[in-house]
Amino acid sequence: MKEMICICCPMGCRLTVDDSDINNVKVSGNTCPRGEKYGKEEVVCPKRMVTSVVRVRGGNVAMLSVKTKEAIEKSKIFDALATLKGVVVDAPVNIGDTVVSDVLGTGVDFIATKNVAAK
């Protein structure tokens, strides 16, 4: 049995996750289905969104904030961040542009989270 806070929205519901049978995990305390999904994933395969920054060439700012388009396995966060090392994108950049595709074969891309105009 595990207690946790659902981080999917600001409500922060307090979840109780019964993982005594890993093939039949039960979640209670959630207000919506997202909480049930989150609780199950947390005990089976926890995932997180990953955020960072990369350098920009020829832009009106030097750095671009990026994030994974979807959450990836928590155990892959540091390796995912390593894929951004040395990455430089050319301005202009638009929100949602792919910066690194298919990070670690997860099928999830790092995308830009802001617009950067060219100088």
Contact positions toward ligand SF4, by CB under 6 A?
6, 8-9, 11-13, 30-32, 34-35
Smallest separation, CB 41 to ligand SF4 (Å): 12
Smallest separation, CB 27 to ligand SF4 (Å): 9
User: How many whole angstroms separate alpha carbon 112 and alpha carbon 23?
Assistant: 37
Determine the residue with CB nearest ligand SF4: 35
Instruction: Identify the bridge partners of residue 104 per DSSP, sorted by sequence position.
Output: none
Q: Is residue 31 within 8 Å of 40, Cβ to Cβ?
A: no
Please say which residue, 8 or 81, places its beta carbon nearer to ligand SF4: 8
Place of tokens 């049978």: 21
Please say which residue, 36 or 109, places its beta carbon nearer to ligand SF4: 36
Q: Is residue 43 within 8 Å of 22, Cβ to Cβ?
A: yes
